[in-house]
Amino acid sequence: MSATPYPYQWQPARVRAEFFRLLPISLFVVAFGAAFGLAAVQEGLEPLQALLMSVTVFAGASQFAAVDMWGTEVSLVPLLAVVFAINSRHLLMGASLYPVLRELPPVKRYGVLLLLTDANWAVAAQDYQNGRKNLEVIVGGGLVLWLAWVIGTILGVYFGGLLKDPQALGLDMVLGCFLLAMALGGRKSTRTLVAWAVASVAALAAWRWLPPNIHVVVGALAGGVVGFFWLEPGQGGQSRRDQEVS
Amino acid sequence: MSVETTPAGILFIIVLMALVTLATRYGGAFVMSFVRISPRIESFINTMASSVLIAIIVPMAFSGDAGALAALATTAITMLVTRRALPAIAAGILAAAVVRLLIG
Protein backbone atom coordinates (compact mmCIF):
# COMPACT_ATOMS: atom_id res chain seq x y z
CA MET A 1 0.00 0.00 0.00
CA SER A 2 2.46 2.63 1.20
CA ALA A 3 6.22 2.60 1.71
CA THR A 4 6.04 3.72 5.31
CA PRO A 5 4.16 1.62 7.87
CA TYR A 6 2.86 4.87 9.37
CA PRO A 7 1.24 6.78 6.51
CA TYR A 8 -0.69 9.34 8.56
CA GLN A 9 -0.20 12.84 7.10
CA TRP A 10 0.17 14.95 10.23
CA GLN A 11 -0.76 18.59 9.63
CA PRO A 12 0.52 21.00 12.30
CA ALA A 13 -1.57 23.85 10.86
CA ARG A 14 -4.68 21.77 11.42
CA VAL A 15 -3.82 21.32 15.11
CA ARG A 16 -4.05 25.09 15.46
CA ALA A 17 -7.31 25.20 13.49
CA GLU A 18 -8.85 22.51 15.73
CA PHE A 19 -7.70 24.41 18.83
CA PHE A 20 -9.82 27.36 17.74
CA ARG A 21 -12.66 25.12 16.57
CA LEU A 22 -13.13 23.80 20.11
CA LEU A 23 -12.47 27.16 21.77
CA PRO A 24 -16.21 28.04 22.08
CA ILE A 25 -17.07 24.85 23.98
CA SER A 26 -13.93 25.28 26.08
CA LEU A 27 -15.30 28.53 27.45
CA PHE A 28 -18.07 26.47 29.04
CA VAL A 29 -15.51 24.02 30.34
CA VAL A 30 -13.95 26.92 32.30
CA ALA A 31 -17.23 27.23 34.21
CA PHE A 32 -17.18 23.51 35.06
CA GLY A 33 -13.53 23.73 36.07
CA ALA A 34 -14.44 26.55 38.45
CA ALA A 35 -17.26 24.47 39.89
CA PHE A 36 -14.80 21.61 40.42
CA GLY A 37 -12.21 23.87 42.04
CA LEU A 38 -14.81 25.21 44.43
CA ALA A 39 -16.10 21.73 45.29
CA ALA A 40 -12.55 20.47 45.87
CA VAL A 41 -11.58 23.20 48.36
CA GLN A 42 -14.93 22.81 50.10
CA GLU A 43 -14.14 19.11 50.59
CA GLY A 44 -10.80 20.05 52.17
CA LEU A 45 -8.27 19.88 49.34
CA GLU A 46 -5.61 22.56 49.17
CA PRO A 47 -5.81 24.74 46.03
CA LEU A 48 -2.55 23.32 44.69
CA GLN A 49 -3.78 19.76 45.23
CA ALA A 50 -6.99 20.43 43.31
CA LEU A 51 -4.94 22.04 40.58
CA LEU A 52 -2.55 19.10 40.41
CA MET A 53 -5.54 16.78 40.06
CA SER A 54 -6.98 18.78 37.15
CA VAL A 55 -3.59 18.99 35.44
CA THR A 56 -2.81 15.27 35.68
CA VAL A 57 -6.21 13.53 35.72
CA PHE A 58 -8.11 15.82 33.29
CA ALA A 59 -11.39 13.93 33.52
CA GLY A 60 -14.12 16.06 35.05
CA ALA A 61 -16.83 13.60 36.04
CA SER A 62 -14.36 11.30 37.80
CA GLN A 63 -12.75 14.21 39.63
CA PHE A 64 -16.11 15.38 40.96
CA ALA A 65 -16.86 11.83 42.10
CA ALA A 66 -13.44 11.57 43.78
CA VAL A 67 -13.72 14.74 45.84
CA ASP A 68 -17.23 13.62 46.76
CA MET A 69 -15.62 10.63 48.49
CA TRP A 70 -13.11 12.81 50.33
CA GLY A 71 -12.81 12.86 54.13
CA THR A 72 -10.08 12.73 56.75
CA GLU A 73 -9.39 9.33 55.27
CA VAL A 74 -10.01 8.05 51.76
CA SER A 75 -10.72 4.40 50.97
CA LEU A 76 -8.31 3.89 48.14
CA VAL A 77 -9.73 0.88 46.31
CA PRO A 78 -13.35 2.11 46.11
CA LEU A 79 -12.11 5.53 45.01
CA LEU A 80 -9.91 4.15 42.25
CA ALA A 81 -12.69 1.75 41.19
CA VAL A 82 -15.07 4.68 40.74
CA VAL A 83 -12.44 6.65 38.81
CA PHE A 84 -11.81 3.65 36.58
CA ALA A 85 -15.51 2.94 36.01
CA ILE A 86 -16.34 6.54 35.09
CA ASN A 87 -13.32 6.82 32.80
CA SER A 88 -13.64 3.36 31.26
CA ARG A 89 -15.45 4.98 28.32
CA HIS A 90 -11.96 6.18 27.29
CA LEU A 91 -11.08 2.53 26.60
CA LEU A 92 -13.80 2.34 23.97
CA MET A 93 -12.98 5.77 22.57
CA GLY A 94 -9.31 4.88 22.15
CA ALA A 95 -10.21 1.54 20.58
CA SER A 96 -12.65 3.18 18.16
CA LEU A 97 -9.91 5.47 16.87
CA TYR A 98 -7.39 2.66 16.47
CA PRO A 99 -7.89 2.26 12.69
CA VAL A 100 -6.59 5.83 12.39
CA LEU A 101 -4.18 5.77 15.34
CA ARG A 102 -2.27 2.81 13.94
CA GLU A 103 -1.16 5.03 11.07
CA LEU A 104 0.95 6.99 13.57
CA PRO A 105 4.22 5.67 15.05
CA PRO A 106 3.60 4.35 18.60
CA VAL A 107 5.32 7.22 20.44
CA LYS A 108 3.22 9.82 18.67
CA ARG A 109 0.12 7.61 18.95
CA TYR A 110 0.33 7.47 22.74
CA GLY A 111 1.30 11.12 22.89
CA VAL A 112 -1.95 11.99 21.09
CA LEU A 113 -3.96 9.80 23.47
CA LEU A 114 -2.73 11.79 26.50
CA LEU A 115 -5.27 14.46 25.51
CA LEU A 116 -8.19 12.15 24.69
CA THR A 117 -11.46 13.31 26.21
CA ASP A 118 -15.17 13.30 25.33
CA ALA A 119 -15.55 16.41 23.19
CA ASN A 120 -12.45 16.09 21.00
CA TRP A 121 -13.04 12.37 20.60
CA ALA A 122 -16.63 13.02 19.50
CA VAL A 123 -15.38 15.32 16.74
CA ALA A 124 -12.69 12.84 15.62
CA ALA A 125 -15.17 9.94 15.65
CA GLN A 126 -17.74 11.91 13.66
CA ASP A 127 -15.10 12.95 11.13
CA TYR A 128 -13.98 9.34 10.78
CA GLN A 129 -17.57 8.18 10.17
CA ASN A 130 -17.71 10.76 7.41
CA GLY A 131 -14.49 9.47 5.89
CA ARG A 132 -12.03 12.04 7.25
CA LYS A 133 -9.05 11.11 9.40
CA ASN A 134 -8.67 13.77 12.02
CA LEU A 135 -6.29 13.11 14.90
CA GLU A 136 -5.24 16.75 14.93
CA VAL A 137 -8.47 17.55 16.77
CA ILE A 138 -7.45 15.23 19.61
CA VAL A 139 -4.29 17.30 20.12
CA GLY A 140 -5.49 20.81 19.23
CA GLY A 141 -8.96 20.38 20.70
CA GLY A 142 -7.58 18.44 23.67
CA LEU A 143 -5.10 21.20 24.42
CA VAL A 144 -7.73 23.94 24.53
CA LEU A 145 -10.07 21.76 26.62
CA TRP A 146 -7.24 20.93 29.04
CA LEU A 147 -6.24 24.60 29.33
CA ALA A 148 -9.87 25.55 29.98
CA TRP A 149 -10.21 22.85 32.64
CA VAL A 150 -7.00 23.96 34.39
CA ILE A 151 -7.81 27.69 34.17
CA GLY A 152 -11.32 26.97 35.44
CA THR A 153 -9.92 25.01 38.38
CA ILE A 154 -7.56 27.90 39.27
CA LEU A 155 -10.47 30.35 39.20
CA GLY A 156 -12.59 27.99 41.30
CA VAL A 157 -10.03 27.32 44.03
CA TYR A 158 -8.98 30.96 44.43
CA PHE A 159 -12.15 32.89 43.58
CA GLY A 160 -14.96 30.38 44.16
CA GLY A 161 -17.56 29.43 41.59
CA LEU A 162 -17.72 31.94 38.75
CA LEU A 163 -21.46 31.78 38.49
CA LYS A 164 -23.90 31.57 41.36
CA ASP A 165 -25.99 28.91 39.67
CA PRO A 166 -24.61 27.51 36.39
CA GLN A 167 -27.54 25.07 36.23
CA ALA A 168 -30.09 27.87 35.98
CA LEU A 169 -28.32 28.99 32.81
CA GLY A 170 -28.45 25.46 31.40
CA LEU A 171 -24.65 25.17 31.46
CA ASP A 172 -24.75 21.64 32.87
CA MET A 173 -26.26 20.57 29.54
CA VAL A 174 -23.41 21.86 27.35
CA LEU A 175 -21.58 18.55 27.07
CA GLY A 176 -24.77 16.53 26.64
CA CYS A 177 -26.00 18.82 23.85
CA PHE A 178 -22.57 18.82 22.23
CA LEU A 179 -22.36 15.01 22.19
CA LEU A 180 -25.94 14.73 20.91
CA ALA A 181 -25.20 17.16 18.08
CA MET A 182 -22.13 15.09 17.17
CA ALA A 183 -24.13 11.85 17.20
CA LEU A 184 -26.87 13.28 14.98
CA GLY A 185 -24.34 14.87 12.62
CA GLY A 186 -22.86 11.50 11.65
CA ARG A 187 -24.00 9.11 8.97
CA LYS A 188 -27.21 7.31 9.93
CA SER A 189 -28.02 3.98 8.34
CA THR A 190 -30.73 1.57 9.46
CA ARG A 191 -27.94 -0.39 11.07
CA THR A 192 -26.83 2.64 13.11
CA LEU A 193 -30.37 3.32 14.27
CA VAL A 194 -30.84 -0.30 15.37
CA ALA A 195 -27.50 -0.13 17.21
CA TRP A 196 -28.63 3.07 18.93
CA ALA A 197 -31.89 1.47 20.03
CA VAL A 198 -30.01 -1.51 21.46
CA ALA A 199 -27.44 0.79 23.10
CA SER A 200 -30.18 2.92 24.67
CA VAL A 201 -32.01 -0.06 26.16
CA ALA A 202 -28.79 -1.65 27.43
CA ALA A 203 -27.49 1.62 28.90
CA LEU A 204 -30.79 2.31 30.66
CA ALA A 205 -31.00 -1.24 32.01
CA ALA A 206 -27.40 -1.05 33.27
CA TRP A 207 -28.07 2.37 34.79
CA ARG A 208 -31.09 0.99 36.68
CA TRP A 209 -29.88 -2.41 37.75
CA LEU A 210 -26.10 -2.73 37.50
CA PRO A 211 -23.48 -1.08 39.75
CA PRO A 212 -23.19 2.68 39.11
CA ASN A 213 -21.00 4.25 36.42
CA ILE A 214 -20.77 1.33 34.02
CA HIS A 215 -23.84 2.07 31.90
CA VAL A 216 -21.86 3.88 29.20
CA VAL A 217 -19.58 0.91 28.56
CA VAL A 218 -22.45 -1.60 28.70
CA GLY A 219 -24.59 0.42 26.28
CA ALA A 220 -21.75 1.10 23.85
CA LEU A 221 -20.65 -2.55 23.74
CA ALA A 222 -24.25 -3.65 23.20
CA GLY A 223 -24.47 -1.23 20.27
CA GLY A 224 -21.17 -2.55 18.94
CA VAL A 225 -22.49 -6.12 18.95
CA VAL A 226 -25.12 -5.02 16.40
CA GLY A 227 -22.29 -3.88 14.12
CA PHE A 228 -20.38 -7.10 14.70
CA PHE A 229 -23.21 -9.25 13.36
CA TRP A 230 -24.64 -6.79 10.85
CA LEU A 231 -22.12 -5.50 8.36
CA GLU A 232 -22.95 -2.57 6.13
CA PRO A 233 -23.98 -4.03 2.74
CA GLY A 234 -20.91 -4.23 0.53
CA GLN A 235 -18.64 -3.14 3.39
CA GLY A 236 -17.02 -6.54 3.94
CA GLY A 237 -16.60 -7.30 0.26
CA GLN A 238 -15.20 -3.91 -0.54
CA SER A 239 -12.57 -3.98 2.19
CA ARG A 240 -11.50 -7.42 1.06
CA ARG A 241 -11.08 -6.15 -2.49
CA ASP A 242 -9.01 -3.25 -1.22
CA GLN A 243 -6.71 -5.66 0.57
CA GLU A 244 -6.27 -7.78 -2.54
CA VAL A 245 -5.30 -4.76 -4.58
CA SER A 246 -2.76 -3.50 -2.06
CA MET B 1 -7.21 0.23 52.37
CA SER B 2 -7.58 3.77 53.67
CA VAL B 3 -5.18 6.59 53.06
CA GLU B 4 -5.07 9.56 55.41
CA THR B 5 -5.54 12.87 53.67
CA THR B 6 -2.19 14.26 54.75
CA PRO B 7 -0.29 16.16 52.04
CA ALA B 8 1.75 13.03 51.19
CA GLY B 9 -1.37 10.86 51.25
CA ILE B 10 -3.25 13.22 48.95
CA LEU B 11 -0.33 13.37 46.55
CA PHE B 12 -0.30 9.56 46.50
CA ILE B 13 -4.05 9.44 45.78
CA ILE B 14 -3.82 12.00 42.97
CA VAL B 15 -0.91 10.17 41.33
CA LEU B 16 -2.86 6.90 41.42
CA MET B 17 -5.98 8.59 40.01
CA ALA B 18 -3.88 10.01 37.18
CA LEU B 19 -2.35 6.61 36.43
CA VAL B 20 -5.73 4.85 36.43
CA THR B 21 -7.15 7.49 34.09
CA LEU B 22 -4.11 7.29 31.81
CA ALA B 23 -4.57 3.53 31.66
CA THR B 24 -8.13 4.07 30.38
CA ARG B 25 -6.84 6.51 27.74
CA TYR B 26 -4.15 4.08 26.57
CA GLY B 27 -5.81 0.71 27.17
CA GLY B 28 -8.25 0.66 24.25
CA ALA B 29 -5.66 1.46 21.58
CA PHE B 30 -3.12 -0.85 23.24
CA VAL B 31 -5.47 -3.85 23.21
CA MET B 32 -6.53 -3.11 19.63
CA SER B 33 -2.88 -3.23 18.51
CA PHE B 34 -3.07 -7.02 19.07
CA VAL B 35 -6.31 -7.43 17.13
CA ARG B 36 -6.38 -7.96 13.39
CA ILE B 37 -8.89 -5.41 12.12
CA SER B 38 -11.16 -7.46 9.91
CA PRO B 39 -14.19 -5.80 8.27
CA ARG B 40 -16.29 -7.36 11.03
CA ILE B 41 -14.15 -5.86 13.82
CA GLU B 42 -14.16 -2.52 12.03
CA SER B 43 -17.95 -2.66 11.80
CA PHE B 44 -18.05 -3.46 15.54
CA ILE B 45 -15.90 -0.51 16.58
CA ASN B 46 -17.66 1.92 14.26
CA THR B 47 -21.08 1.02 15.62
CA MET B 48 -19.71 1.02 19.14
CA ALA B 49 -18.27 4.50 18.64
CA SER B 50 -21.58 6.14 17.83
CA SER B 51 -23.25 4.05 20.54
CA VAL B 52 -20.91 5.56 23.17
CA LEU B 53 -22.60 8.90 22.60
CA ILE B 54 -26.08 7.41 22.86
CA ALA B 55 -25.16 5.48 26.01
CA ILE B 56 -24.04 8.74 27.64
CA ILE B 57 -27.02 10.82 26.51
CA VAL B 58 -30.03 8.53 27.02
CA PRO B 59 -29.55 7.91 30.78
CA MET B 60 -28.76 11.64 31.08
CA ALA B 61 -32.18 12.38 29.58
CA PHE B 62 -33.95 9.84 31.80
CA SER B 63 -32.32 11.03 35.02
CA GLY B 64 -32.48 14.73 34.16
CA ASP B 65 -35.12 17.33 35.00
CA ALA B 66 -37.50 19.01 32.54
CA GLY B 67 -34.73 21.47 31.65
CA ALA B 68 -32.37 18.67 30.67
CA LEU B 69 -35.04 17.04 28.53
CA ALA B 70 -35.88 20.34 26.85
CA ALA B 71 -32.18 20.92 26.13
CA LEU B 72 -31.63 17.53 24.51
CA ALA B 73 -34.89 17.62 22.53
CA THR B 74 -34.20 21.13 21.24
CA THR B 75 -30.64 20.26 20.25
CA ALA B 76 -31.84 17.13 18.45
CA ILE B 77 -34.52 18.94 16.46
CA THR B 78 -32.31 21.93 15.60
CA MET B 79 -29.49 19.62 14.56
CA LEU B 80 -31.72 17.51 12.32
CA VAL B 81 -33.21 20.61 10.69
CA THR B 82 -30.14 22.85 10.31
CA ARG B 83 -27.34 20.20 10.28
CA ARG B 84 -25.18 22.71 12.14
CA ALA B 85 -23.78 21.90 15.57
CA LEU B 86 -23.20 25.28 17.19
CA PRO B 87 -26.74 26.65 16.70
CA ALA B 88 -28.11 23.30 17.87
CA ILE B 89 -26.06 23.36 21.09
CA ALA B 90 -26.87 27.01 21.77
CA ALA B 91 -30.59 26.39 21.26
CA GLY B 92 -30.44 23.42 23.63
CA ILE B 93 -28.76 25.39 26.42
CA LEU B 94 -31.21 28.26 25.94
CA ALA B 95 -34.11 25.81 26.17
CA ALA B 96 -32.80 24.44 29.49
CA ALA B 97 -32.40 27.95 30.88
CA VAL B 98 -35.90 29.02 29.80
CA VAL B 99 -37.61 25.88 31.11
CA ARG B 100 -35.81 26.17 34.45
CA LEU B 101 -36.71 29.84 34.68
CA LEU B 102 -40.37 29.04 34.10
CA ILE B 103 -40.59 25.88 36.23
CA GLY B 104 -37.75 26.14 38.76
DSSP three-state, residue B67:
helix
Residue-wise pLDDT for B18-44, tens only, equals 999 999 999 999 999 999 999 999 999
Does residue A27 surpass a pLDDT of 60? Answer: yes
- Between chains, do A216 and B56 touch, taking CB under 8 Å as contact? yes
A95 vs B13, B14, B45: nearest CB: B45
Residue-wise pLDDT for A85-119, tens only, equals 999 999 999 999 999 999 999 999 999 999 999 99
- Between chains, do B55 and A62 touch, taking CB under 8 Å as contact? no
Cβ(A101)–Cβ(A112) under 8 Å?
A: yes
Q: How many angstroms separate the CA of residue B98 from the nearest CA in chain A?
A: 8
- Between chains, do B21 and A109 touch, taking CB under 8 Å as contact? no
Q: What is the C-alpha separation between A61 and A83, in angstroms, rounded?
A: 9
Residue of A nearest to B69 (CA): A173
- Between chains, do A56 and B26 touch, taking CB under 8 Å as contact? no
- Between chains, do A113 and B95 touch, taking CB under 8 Å as contact? no
Residue-wise pLDDT for B61-92, tens only, equals 999 999 999 999 999 999 999 999 999 999 99
Residues of chain B in contact with residue A87, where contact means CB-CB under 8 angstroms, are: 20-21, 24-25
Does residue A187 surpass a pLDDT of 90? Answer: no
Q: Around Cβ A193, how many Cβ atoms within 10 Å? A: 11
pLDDT at A3: 64
Say yes or no: B51 contacts chain A, CB-CB below 8 A. Answer: yes
Say yes or no: B5 contacts chain A, CB-CB below 8 A. Answer: yes
Classify residue B64 by its DSSP letter. Answer: S
Say yes or no: B66 contacts chain A, CB-CB below 8 A. Answer: no
Parallel/antiparallel/unpaired status of strands A73-75 and B2-4: antiparallel
Gyration radius of chain A's alpha carbons = 20
